[in-house]
Amino acid sequence: MAGEATGGGQGLTLLGLWASPFVIRARIALNLKGLTYVYTEESLYDKSELLLNSNPVLKKVPVLIHDGKPVCESQIIVQYIDEAFPSGGGAPILPSDPYDRAVARFWASYVEDKLYSTWVPVFRGRTAEERVEAATQVFAVLETLEQAFKECSKGKTFFGGDTVGLVDVVLGGHLGWLYATEAICGVKVVDAAKTPLLVAWAERFCALDAVKGLIPDVERLVEYNKARRAGLGLPLLLPYMELQQ
């Protein structure tokens, strides 16, 4: 698919896929910095030569190409953007204090290691029960992140305090799929009654100019999930709650 210019030209191209939370976080970081870049939508089934040549080891998106040099893996890309463009239009994504930076990296790694891996069976589970169990475990991870927000934000707006930080960007990329979980398997994981701080944070995050238009609609993600399950030979399951009626 042809590239789409956004923002305004520091020799930046991002190879991505609209539904990927990892691509979304890279796009948010670029937008936060006010950077101009070309976004190229990749095909899930017919990967471009540019992608294969830019990421020959993993052969997956996102890949940021800066002046012809590829940077791979979303968290590395986000931190690269922050370091390569310190005088960009936005505030630093990583804090200047070494300890605060270490804490931010810890929670970003927690999102990567715990949230995503726990959520994958919601997408790919072979039974409704398997998907519900995964969603229940996702909620437990979000409860931990509720406490993390309380500690990291110190009563302010974002995980990063007054401005968006690394944890905001890393977790924020997953919001579309977290919102879609209820439609996919009948379990509400973004619940204001149980994680009010996270829900309020998510609303503020999605309202940011740098984020608007990047978090996919639930309906579109549900249709994407159905298509991917069909492509993977997985059964097309109704939400668990619907099966119980």
Q: Per-residue pLDDT tens for 5-40?
A: 454 446 999 999 999 999 999 999 999 999 999 999
The 10s digit of each residue's pLDDT in 195-229 is: 999 999 999 999 999 999 999 999 999 999 999 99
Residues 75 and 114 in one domain: no
Domain CATH for 208: 1.20.1050.10
37 and 127 both lie in a single domain? no
Angle in degrees, CA 209, 201, 172, rounded to 5: 65
The number of domains in the chain is: 2
Looking at the structure, do residues 106 and 20 belong to the same domain, yes or no? no
Closest-CA residue to 170 (of 212, 115, 101) = 115
Is residue 93 in some structural domain? no
Q: Tell me: do 203 and 230 sit in the same domain.
A: yes
Q: Which domain holds residue 202?
A: 98-242
| Tally of residues, the chain | 245
Domain CATH code at residue 50: 3.40.30.10
Same domain, 110 and 181: yes
- Asked whether residue 49 falls in the same domain as residue 136, the answer is no
pLDDT interval class at 101 (50, 70, 90):
very high
150 and 226 both lie in a single domain: yes
